[in-house]
Structure formats: structure tokens, C-alpha cells
Structure 1
Amino acid sequence: MSYVTGSAAPASGTAALYDPDVLADLVARVGERLGGEVADAVERCMADTLARTITPHPDGTAFVITGDIPAMWLRDSTTQLAPFLHLAAADERLADTIAAVSRRQQASILRDPYANAFNDGPTGAGHRDRTGDPVTGQSPWVWERKYEIDSLAYPVQLAHDLWKATGRTDHLADLGPVGHTVVELWTTEQRHAEASSYTFERADCPPTDTLVRDGRGPETGFTGMTWAGFRPSDDACTYGYNVPGNALAATALRQLAELATEVLHDADLAARANVLRDHIERGIREHGVVTGPAGSSVYAYEVDGLGGVLLADDANTPSLLSLPLTGWCSPDDPLYTATRDLVLSDANPYYYRGTAASGIGSPHTPEGHVWPIALAIQGLTSTDPAEQRALLDLILATDDGTGAVHESFHADDPGTWTREWFSWANSMFCELALEVAGLRTHRRPAPESRL
């Protein structure tokens, strides 16, 4: 199957976003190492992200839609750019584009740090829910106001990643106010029941789209971790403390402290970020590590600090499976490998086996559906090159002939799938292809062990 014909030349209107020669060279190297079919898919997916999802604005920002939904998720817009970070040092125009997206993310956080998705202007589009904001209500800039930890953590990581990849700092002008906002909110949400005004209620919807107890969410006890109403899948948390979300927050706080020290020269922000990181890491160790079905210590997916534990994993990241990618731990960390064995087994209620594929799905999509994002994460966190290549080929073989990486597909029938256009999935396929080809240059360092 050929995914793309022709070269990686930019579509009309996108030439200013990147250097087509740099992308063409990358595609050629992928082709030399992995073959034409993989190279065609990488070319198509990366060119599609640049041509159809990014809208630059005169104010030096850029808006990124997630695909077939015309809104910018702070999580998705970060992960959509993941494969481009490897090219940023060689392509100044592409680095400018990533910087513009980072600025837009930071401006969005300052508009509403509890929101997960935004409009390209104060249009009032999207969901109009009842949500606690005693000052303004839901801003017309906000598409959806489901509070998720990753919505704040991922933009911090993108700002840090671009700085590390290129040395540039022009995208960090607002990071001081953003950083203080993030630290203050996560500190408040350590004691959600006592200190937070955030609530969320949606009418006429599945239970996973709203919060219980008049929008307050399930009861929790103090753990040191920070609370979230919703998972990275945009589904309501069963318990209040999402462990992989907190792990991502801890690594983002470490990165924020580094930026505060080396770029912003804000000792107060660095100190506050480090103190909060210590609290969250201690909370994960004391409450987020539990005994699994096999008797080994594993990470829980969610806990409530009152004895409630959810042993599971969801395809959306941050996930337990993705912990090494976030910089939380190494892929051979014993606690991680025990957790990995659990989530890639029938002990995970969202792990599905079928005749076409086996992998992690999500309650966000129909039962029995595997997510290609999870297959890509499985490959990116594997230490076995043969497993990585097999998962890359599996994603290619289950696209139903569309040339697109879908949100999910049925484990027995790849012809049954969700979402025609999901740019995050395309980017995760590209990340895996670059990993298998030995072309991923940007990685986040992690502690040797979390035990």
C-alpha cells in the first residue's frame, strides 16, 4: 500500500512553517532503513499535521486543531508535535512553528488553567457546561472545561523540550506567570475538597462525562498528590488521584524548576516547584504503589487516599505504560516492568485480545477496540527491537486501507474504527517509526530506579 505519492513538498500556504528539504531528508532516511511503505506513511502523517492542523497568527502564536474536532487540546497539541522536535535544531522555521504553538498554549493556560480544550478565538463554540468559576463562568475562548492534570503538564514539557532541543528562549516570555499559575493550582488541588472552587456538571450525557456529588467528584483523602476531575481520555476519574497524571506533573515540575533557575532566574518559582514535586513523588510512593494480582508492587492507575484503588491503564497518555516517555522512570525500572506486565494483560480491564490485534483500549471508545496510540507507546517503551518493529507493522496493517491512523479499531475487525482524522495518532505512529529507524534524537532523562 502506498500512503503518499510524490515528495514531501509543503502544501500551499504551509511553506513558512518548515523547511521541506529537512522533512524530505528525514523521509528518505526512514525509507533507507525501514522501507518505502513506512516512509510513505511517515511522510503523509507529518505533512498532514503541518498542512491541515496548524494555523499561525500575526501575534506570534499558532493554533492546532486535534483533527476532525476544530478545537485545540493542550495535551494533543503537544503530542502532535512530538516527531517534529527531532528536526527543530536543523530547521529554524519548524522551531519557529513549535515556539508559536508553545506561546498559544501558555496564553490559553493564563486564560483558564482548568480548561482542557480551547477555541481559535472567543467564539463560544464547544461544550457549555455548568462549571465552577465564580468570577467569569466559562470563557468563550474555552471549548471544554474538563480539568485534567496533563493539560497543564504537557505545555510545560513542550516549552522545556524546545529549549533543550534548540537553546532558544523566545517562547518563554510568559512562562513565569504560567509556572506560578500551575504550581498554585496543583497545590490547591492537593486539597480539592477543602480548597478548590472547581466543579463540573454536564446534563444528558454518559456518567463518564460529568462529575458526581454535584460536580465535586468522588471523595478523597489527602495524599500529597494533586487531584484531577478527568483522565487524559476526557473521562471522569473513578478516584480522585490519577497516578500517571501525577507522575507527569512531577517531571514537568522538575523541568519547570530547571527553566526557572537557568532561564527565568526566578528562585521562588524554582523552590515552589521543587517542594511540590517532592510532595507529589512522596504521594505516589506512599499511595500510588500497591500490590498487584501477581504479588509484585505495581503502580495503580487511580487511588483516592481512602483505600480505593483502580488497577488498569488507558490508551491515552499520560498512562502507566508511557511512564518512561515522560521522564518518570527508565524502561527497565523493576517497578515499571511489573506494572507493564499487568497493563498488557487481562488484569487490565481495558486490554483487549483479538484476531487482528491485542492492545490497550479505553472506556472512551467501544469495548473491544484497541488504540494505535497505545500500540505505539508499547513500542516506544519496549527494550526489544523485534517487538518495536512488529508493532509498527501492526499499525500499518490495521488502517483499513485509509492511509490514516485511527483513534481505535476493533481487535477482530480493523474495518470497524473510530475517528477518520486523529492527528495525535498519526504523530505517535511517526514517533515509533523514528524510534525503530534510530532517528529519535530528543529524549527525556529519568532516574535509574523508582523503587
Structure 2
Amino acid sequence: MYETVYRTIEAISSSLKEIDPHLADVFQNCYPNTLQTTVELLDDGTSFVITGDIPAMWLRDSSAQIRPYMEMANEDADLRRLIRGVIHRQAKFLLLDNYANAFNKEPNDQGHTGDLPPKGPGVWERKYELDSLCYPVQLCAHYWRTTGDRSVFNEDVHGMFRQIVATMLIEQHHDQQSGYSFQRFQCPPSDTLPFDGRGTRTNYTGMVWSGFRPSDDACKYGYLIPANMFAVVILRDLGQLALEMYDDADLNESALKLAAEIEFGIETYGKVQHPEFGTIYAYETDGFGNYNLMDDANVPSLLSIPYLGYRPSEDPIYRNTRAFVLSPANPSYYSGTYGRGVGSPHTPPGHIWPIGLIMQGLTSTDPQEQESLIRTLAATTADTNFMHESFHPDDPGTFTREWFAWANSLFGEFIARWVGGLTAADRTPSGSV
């Protein structure tokens, strides 16, 4: 099963062994980890993908975990079955609860209990995160562009598209129109929303409100800029798919109009003049002139703007923003003996996230920076040969989440792109990992 993936692993590993055998070992462990440990093909034709050490399916993680295999799907029927199944399972989930971020395989009531309002039995957690509405559309668009397979676009997917746009339209006016709230008790402040679960107030900007970040931490201000950038990109894809697959002109028009409004909001309300870095994008704002200047390793992030497709790596405001993110001015940027990079308030202070290092590499235009990041990643696995959620840069043996499939898949994607971009002359070892 997934023979194309394993042939690719063999070919890339062969190239890596010429560079560094240890790097080849890490790649061979990480790249197939999602397929080997997190995927279940269900009898109804859908696919359930857990995030790793948590037995639930996140809309974000499940999309990101299988994205690195997409380019092989056109040649591999097993991969097409898997990805179609993920898309159809995500559609069922979003039609079940369009505000939830993670779901159970069955309505068994597993997951967080005691939250208000109570979640349904099929829901693991009901944190509304704008990116959870974006990732399934990205997966559909990527699958269509890669395979040309129209069969995936059933009525559940059509309903999911309509639900996504309808939800975003409501959350453009969160304070006035939304019924969503979330409260968790006896927990860190980052696990619940203030003001009776409604979050801090926002002014209308055209952007879409989000309760939580892709880290599952609460937003400080309701307009999460990277998630809105992601929404602009996927709404344009959604509009095209609505027209091509369903001849739904109304949905096409609504999606494209919404994308334009969000982009206007980002470019009008989402930028600040930094005294050191010039014009940069903020991480969050409320539309009243308050800004949260930081970045988080979880994607969508400011660092990931070119990866999301919102702006290219050469864009001057992105370059300024990137310089800010990769500096001590970003409160989530840490450095130590074994590395430096972006972390997250979600994990202990001082911890770097491999996902942040990988995203730095995937958005870099500097081959030396990319190689340095790869070597840092391979050298900080604490002899497990797997990526972790985070690690301490002075002691990589201190880490969180031994089994975190998203980071493993993303590392595999980074390596595959890096090896693909090397010429024979480039494949000269510059030091052992």
C-alpha cells in the first residue's frame, strides 16, 4: 500500500545518504509516520486521521499531515482513496459542527468535558479557529489540481463549502451576529475566552473573527491576521470550485466578495509601522488600533505567508515581517546552544518548535539557511529520529509530544523539496549532523 510513497522515500534517502546518513535515517522515520501510525480507512469510504498522541481528528492537522503526499496522488490509487476519504470525513464533521476544531471517530463523547456550551458527542473540542475552515478547502483545491478527480466533489463537500462561507460571513460581525461562545473552567487563561466566552470586543474591518489560534490558544485580539490571509487564498479557490464543480454562481460570488473584503481589512487594519523593521503585519488586531506583535510557530503564521500563497517571499512587507519574526523582538523567538527559532506560548517558555524551523526553511530563498535549518532539525531529535512538538534549545532531550505527526510530515515535505532543488554539484557534505 502507498507504493509510490515508499519508492519516493527510497529515492530521496539514496540522495541523502550521500550528504549525511543520519539525515537519511531521520527522513525515513518522519516522512511515512502519518501513513504508518495515524490513518484509518473506514467502511463508509472516509478516512480518520489522528494527530498522533491524541486520539482525535483535527481539521487542521489531518489536512497538513497528508499534504506532503499529494504530489504522488495522481500515480497512486491508495493515496487517492485516503485523501478522498479525508475530504469526505472533514465535510461530514463541518456539517456536524462548523465551530469545532477536533472530532471523534464515533459519537462516543470522548474529549473535553465541562466546557460551555456543552459539545456534542461527536466533537472532541469546540474551539472555533478560523484556520479550521480553511484547511479543508485547501486540501480540496490541491487534490483537484493534482489529480483532476471530480468524484470527490459530492453534495457533502458542496454543503461544507456553503457552511464555510456562511460561517465566515457571520464572524465578520462577531459581536453583533454570532451566537458562538466558549468557556472552560479551572484552566489556564489561554484555554478559554474572556467576557463570558465571547472574547474581547472587535470593530468591523472586513476581516473574520477567530476565537482561537492554530495552537488552540485563545486569541488576544479577535482578528488573527495569518488566518485571515489563509482565508483570502482559500476563498478564491472555493469560489472557483463552486462554479466548476457545482455551477453555483451565488456561492462563487459570495466567496470572491468575502475574499476581497478580508484582504481590504488585512491591508488597511493589519499593518503597523515598527521602529526597527518598518512596515510589518501584526499577528492580531481588534480593529480599534490595538495590536499584538508576535508570531507563533503553528501554521497559519506570519512566517508562513508565502507557504499559504498570500504573498511571495520577495514581498517587501513580508521581508520586514520575517525579519521581525526571526528576531528577539518577537516574544516567541528563542535561541540556545543547539538552535534558534520560533516557539509558541502553547508550550513552556524558551522552547523552539520544529514546525517553526521547518516553515522558516520552506519560506527561505537562501540555500545555506535551508541547509542549516535541516541540520539543526536532524540534530535535535533527542536520538528518537522523529520531530517533536517543541524542544529546549539548550537541552533537546527536554521536549514536548514524542508523537506529533504534523511535524513529521512537514519535515518530510521540507526534505523532499530541498533534495529536489539540489543539483549534483550541490550534494557535497558540509559537515556531519
TM-score (norm 1): 0.91
Task: Tell me how far 1:295 sits from its aligned partner.
Answer: 5.3
Map of 1:168 onto structure 2: 149
Q: CA deviation at 1:158?
A: 0.4
Alpha-carbon distance between aligned partners in 1 of 2:183 and 2:255, rounded to the nearest angstrom: 31
Partners of 2:70 and 2:24 in 1: CA distance: 18
Report how far residue 129 of structure 1 moved.
Answer: 4.1
Task: Return 32-41 or 153-162, whichever deviates more.
Answer: 32-41
Query: Contact conserved, 1:28 with 1:39, CA < 8 A, in 2?
Result: no
Q: 2: CA distance between counterparts of 1:47 and 1:439?
A: 21
2:221 is the alignment partner of 1:236: no
**1:195 matched residue in structure 2:** 177
What are the ranges of 5 or more consecutive residues in structure 2 without an aligned counterpart? 423-433
- Which stretch of the first structure deviates more once superposed, 26-35 or 356-365? 26-35
Give the match for residue 140 of structure 2: 159
Is residue 2:326 matched to residue 1:344? yes
CA-atom RMSD, angstroms?
1.3
Q: Distance in 1 between matches of 2:46 and 2:95?
A: 14
Is residue 396 of structure 1 aligned with residue 381 of structure 2? no
Once the two structures are superposed, residues 54-91 of structure 1 have per-residue CA deviations (whole angstroms, 9 ceiling, x without a partner) of: 11111110100000000001000011012101211221
Deviates more, 1:175-184 or 1:292-301: 292-301
Cα contact 2:388–2:403 (8 A) shared by 1:
yes
8 Å contact from structure 2 (residues 16, 23) kept in 1: yes
Please list the CA deviations of residues 359-397 of structure 1 after superposition, one character each: whole Å capped at 9, or x if unmatched. 000000000000000000000000011111111111110
Q: Mean Cα displacement is larger for which, 312-321 or 254-263?
A: 254-263
Aligned to 1:177: 159
| Pairing of 1:80-99 with structure 2 (within 5 A) | 80-99=65-84
**Deviation per CA, 1:125-180, whole angstroms, max 9, x where unpaired?**
00124344xxxx52100000000001110011001111111111222212221111
Residues 277 and 324, structure 2, Cα contact 8 Å, conserved in 1: no
Task: Report the Cα distance in structure 2 between the residues aligned to 1:38 and 1:252, rounded to whole angstroms.
Answer: 34
Percent of residue pairs identical? 49
TM-score, normalised to structure 2, is: 0.94
Secondary structure at the residue paired with 1:130? coil
In structure 2, what is the Cα distance between the partners aligned to 1:386 and 1:37? 19
1:361 aligned onto 2:346: no
Q: Which residue of 2 aligns with 1:138?
A: 119
Distance 2:15 2:311 in 1: 29
Structure 2 equivalent of residue 4 of structure 1: none
Residue 396 of structure 2 corresponds to 414
Q: Offset at 1:37?
A: 3.0
User: Comparing 45-54 with 232-241, which one deviates more in the overlay?
Assistant: 45-54
Contact (CA 8 Å) 1:27, 1:39: kept in 2 or not?
no
3-state DSSP class of the match of 1:370?
Answer: coil
Deviation at 1:264, TM superposition (A): 1.9
Contact 1:131–1:145 (CA under 8 A) maintained in structure 2: no
SS of equivalent residue, structure 1 residue 366: coil
Following superposition of structure 1 onto structure 2, how do residues 99-118 of structure 1 map, counting pairs within 5 Å?
A: 99-118=84-103
Match of 2:266 among 284, 297, 317: 284
Alignment partners' CA distance in 2, 1:401 and 1:416: 12
**Does 1:425 find its partner at 2:425?**
no
**Partners of 1:232 and 1:27 in 2: how far apart?**
29
How far does the alpha carbon of each residue in 1:432-451 deviate from its partner, in whole angstroms, 9 at most, with x for none? 101111179xxxxxxxxxxx
Structure 1, gaps ≥5 residues long:
1-14, 441-451
